[in-house]
Structure 1
C-alpha cells in the first residue's frame, strides 16, 4: 500500500491557486505587464471556517493601483483553503516580470 499523502498546508494551497490564476492569465494584468509595472501588495484576508475568503483589504500598496486591484481580486478568488488556514492573515502578493 502507498503511504497516505500529507494534507496540503494552507500556504501550499494559496501558492497553487495563485499559480493557476497566473497560468489562466487572470493574475498579472496585461496592461501592467505592457507598462513594465512590478511590485508587492499586502492583502488582509478574512477566512471563514470552511476555508473561503469572505473579505479582503489592502494593507500595503504595491505603488500601482492596477496591481493593488489585481492583488485584491486574487485574494477574493482563493477558495477551499485547508483547515489550518488562520481566520485572518496578511498575504504578500508579488508581481514580478519574467
Structure 2
C-alpha cells in the first residue's frame, strides 16, 4: 500500500514533468517560428540565384558608393578596409547593419553605412531564395 506522502511525492513529480513538457513545447514552437537566415559572402555563394542577387546588390552599392564617397576622405586621402554585415528582409527592406571590422577611420565606417541606407530598399528576394530564406545576411569587405 502507498502512503499519502508517496502519493503526494508522485503527484508533485507528475506536475513538475508536465510543467517541463509545457516549457519545452513552448520553446519548440518559438524555434519553429524564428526567421530563416542565410549568410552570403562572395566566397561562399554557390547557388545561381544567390550569386545573381549578391551581384545585383554589389553593383548598386558600388555605384552609390562612388557617387557618395565622403569629400573629407577624398581631400585627406583617407583609405581603409572594413567588413560590414548587412541584413535584408525578404521584401528587400534593410533589417540591420553591423560593422564587423572597422576601417580605423570613423568617417569611412559611417560613409559605408550611409551608402547602404541610401541604397535601401533592395530587390525583393526571388522565389528561389524566398522559399528557404527570410533574412539574407550579406558580409562584404569595403575597400
TM-score exceeds 0.5: yes
1:10-25 to structure 2, matched below 5 A, reads 10-23=53-66, 25=67
CA contact (8 A) 1:14 1:78 kept: no
The structure that is helix-richer by fraction is 2
Point out where structure 1 has 5 or more consecutive residues left out of the alignment.
Answer: 1-5
2:106 is aligned, of 65, 83, 87, to 65
The Cα RMSD (Å) is 2.4
Structure showing the higher strand proportion among its residues = 1
Correspondence for 2:122: 80
**C-alpha displacement of 1:82:** 5.3
| Runs of at least 4 residues off by over 6 Å | none
CA distance in 1, matches of 2:61, 2:73: 17
Distance 2:98 2:121 in 1: 17
Alignment of 1:1-98 (within 5 A): 9-23=52-66, 25-26=67-68, 28-76=69-117, 77-81=119-123, 83=125, 84=129, 87-94=136-143
- TM-score relative to the length of structure 2: 0.52
Q: Which has the larger radius of gyration?
A: 2
- Structure 2 alignment gaps of length 5 or more: 1-47
TM-score for the superposition, normalised by structure 1: 0.72
Aligned-partner SS, 2:81? strand
Question: How many positions carry a matched residue from both structures?
Answer: 87
Q: CA deviation at 1:70?
A: 0.7
